[in-house]
Structure 1
Amino acid sequence: MNITTVAILSNPKAGKGSAEETANWLGNALSEKGISFQTFQLNWPTHFNGFSDIWIIGGDGTLNYFINKYPNCQLPLALFKCGTGNDFAWRLYGNKDNSGIFDQVMQAPVQKIDAGKINQYWYLNCLGIGFDGEIIRFMQTIRFLGGHLGYLLAVILKVFSFQEKQFQISTDTETWHQCFLLVIANNSSRSGGGFFVTPNASFQDGKLDLLICGKLNLLQRLRYLPVLQKGKHLHLPFVTHRLVKEVNILLEQETDIQIDGELISAKNIQISVVPDKFLFRF
């Protein structure tokens, strides 16, 4: 499947305004290769008839907006880094800059990846309820920092004040009903600009990585935060890790939930994985 005509979608707010510069650079790079393109910024199209590929400039939040706006898209996608955390782009392309990503995308095969779904929302990278949701809520007040630094600051501050919530969690084979610090259902391995909460997660295995962390006192939170960041926590006695296709969660009240760094809220939650949902070049 050759790249012949590219729709370039950018988020003008991404990368503190650098998305437009990246879009111009990509357009010039495509022109040099004789590939036609059209750039969309504020007004994304209703359909992509006539395009062979869609290139998205932004971070995890921009990509999340795309998949929820175009949930039935079956054109190959590529993601160019212009966000705060860029966790999903890192999973696709490693530490390459956008020039390296361009070179890789031009030669890469089209591959299918799974998607997660929570109630009516789609996500590709990560989902967190409880502690994770409150971190994103707090980060909205310190957007001038952003990225890994902002996420780390929010984590450190919330370590001192967060109160565990009561969860009722059910999978096909198990049920838990108690207070937990956080509940994660990730489709990929990295979040928060560099936290490996589910270090072995794969978006091509037809499963989500469910991680449940029990109650921790302040000293335990401070001790194990660096362990969690490095992805060395799966063996700890207060951590439960499962590979699941579906999970149902009931909370006592509406609770903040982060999906790909974006904030939603819910009380009754149905989470599932949809294998081979989207196409990417990587």
Structure 2
Amino acid sequence: MGVHAALAVHPASGKGAAARIAGSVAARLREHVDRLDVLSANTVEESRALMTDARAAGLDVLVVVGGDGAAHQAVQFCAGTDVALGVVPSGTGNDFARALGVPADPLAATETIAAALAQGRTRRIDLGQVGGTWFGTVLCAGFDAMVNERANRMRWPSGRRRYDLAVVAGLAALRPRPLVVRTESDRLELDATLVAVGNTGWYGGGVPVCPDARPDDGVLDVTVVGRATRSQLLRMLPTLRTGRHLRHPAVRTLRAREVSLSGSDWPAYADGESLGRLPVSIRCAPESLTVLA
């Protein structure tokens, strides 16, 4: 029996970029599969329903065209199943695609996925899990989550500049808060500015907040920034783009299979999506997602 694939398209992603390239992506994928269903949806609910129908018909591969929000929904669908996931980045941040080593250019990414289909190349990667929700990149709380909230409300500018502007605006509201971080072997209790728990390294459109995180090592990387003034954080921000923030004396790092965050009611975001507020318990779910390699 041949390969049954589905192409999930979120037309609004990247200000319409996903819709513009969907036809070209579909044409290229059809060369390497026996059946391709195109699933175009504008809401999460509609997308889930279309994916569920495709799975009932014997789906083998799901390719999603969109940003991190679209990838996050696809992860929820594919995690814990044998359906392999491919990502064609066409959104604002594209951090999950970046972590998978997918080219930033959508057409180049399509060629990578087509080659993987042609050669049958897949691999298993880890995911983070909070209750029944999976995430592929980073869960954050504190200053960075507040920046995420602010960036989500902004309509201009796009891409990395939106995140950078949200950071500057968020500095005015900066207040260190009590934080308790527990793992299977460590406990930190401190006044903190932010905490990030990474299955992969990047968030915020290419910020390597957990630069050593790997999605195939069975653990999560934790970056904690302790009490920092506005001026100290402002000086630290440029180093976030290079990973040199880990050298700052206010920064602590941990590695763990399970992490709990408590001590305040900070908002928590994972893959750029809201997960409510602290406390949260996070675990690494090894080899829980198949991706086209």
TM (normalized to structure 1)? 0.92
**Does the Cα contact within 8 Å between 1:125 and 1:187 map onto a contact in 2?**
yes
Post-superposition CA distance 1:92-120 (Å, at most 9, x none):
23544222222222233200010001233
Q: 1:89 aligns with which of 85, 88, 97?
A: 97
**Equivalent in the alignment of 1:68:** 76
Which residue in 2 is equivalent to 1:52? 60
Q: Return 207-216 or 45-54, whichever deviates more.
A: 45-54
Q: In structure 1, what residue type is equivalent to 2:160?
A: H
Q: Residues 15-30 of structure 1: matches in 2 within 5 Å?
A: 15-30=14-29
CA contact (8 A) 1:114 1:277 kept: yes
Q: Aligned residue for 2:109?
A: 101
Does 44-53 or 134-143 show the bigger shift?
44-53
Instruction: State the 1:32 CA deviation.
Output: 4.6
**Which residue does the alignment assign to 1:250?**
262
Note the C-alpha offset of 1:176. Answer: 1.6
C-alpha displacement at 1:281, in angstroms? 0.8
Contact 1:132 / 1:257 at 8 angstroms: preserved in 2?
A: no
The 2-side partners of 1:106 and 1:3 are apart by 15
Name the CA shift for 1:252/1:91 in 2 (closer, same or farther; >3 Å).
closer
Please report how far the alpha carbon of residue 55 of structure 1 lies from its aligned counterpart in structure 2 after TM superposition.
0.3
Secondary structure, aligned partner of 1:17: helix
Residues 2 and 33 in structure 2, CA contact (< 8 A), matched pair in contact too = no
Pairwise CA distance, 1:14: 0.9
Which of 167, 188, 197 lines up with 1:185 in the alignment?
Answer: 197
| Corresponding position: 1:264 with 2:272 | no
Q: Which segment drifts farther, 6-15 or 78-87?
A: 6-15
Aligned partners of 1:138, 1:155: CA distance in 2, in Å? 9
Per-residue deviation at 1:140?
A: 2.2
Q: CA deviation at 1:45?
A: 3.0
Helix, strand or coil for the counterpart of 1:140?
helix
1:157 is the counterpart of 2:157 = no
Q: CA deviation at 1:69?
A: 4.4
- Of 115, 134, 146, the residue aligned with 1:134 is 146
Instruction: Decide which of 204, 222, 230 is 1:218's aligned counterpart.
Output: 230
Residues of 2 paired with 1:96 and 1:158: CA distance?
Answer: 28
3-state SS, counterpart of residue 93 of structure 1: coil
> In the alignment, is the contact (CA less than 8 A) between 2:60 and 2:82 conserved in 1?
no
* Structure 1: runs of 5 or more not aligned: none
Compute the RMSD of aligned alpha carbons.
Answer: 1.9
SS of the residue 1:26 aligns to: helix
Q: CA deviation at 1:174?
A: 1.6
Kept in 2: contact 1:10–1:56 (CA 8 A)? yes
- Contact kept, 8 Å, 1:139 with 1:146, in 2: the verdict is no
In structure 2, distance between residues paired with 1:266 and 1:73: 28
- What is the CA–CA distance in structure 2 between the aligned matches of 1:174 and 1:84, rounded to whole Å? 35
Q: 1:163 to 1:3 in 2, by over 3 A?
A: farther
How many matched pairs? 280
- Give the superposition deviation at 1:67: 2.4
CA contact (8 A) 2:5 2:33 kept: no
SS of aligned partner of 2:240: helix
Where in structure 2 are there 5+ consecutive unaligned residues? none
Q: TM-score, normalised by structure 2?
A: 0.89
Deviates more, 1:32-41 or 1:166-175: 32-41
Moved over 4 A (4+): 32-35
- The residue matched to 1:170 in structure 2 has which SS? strand
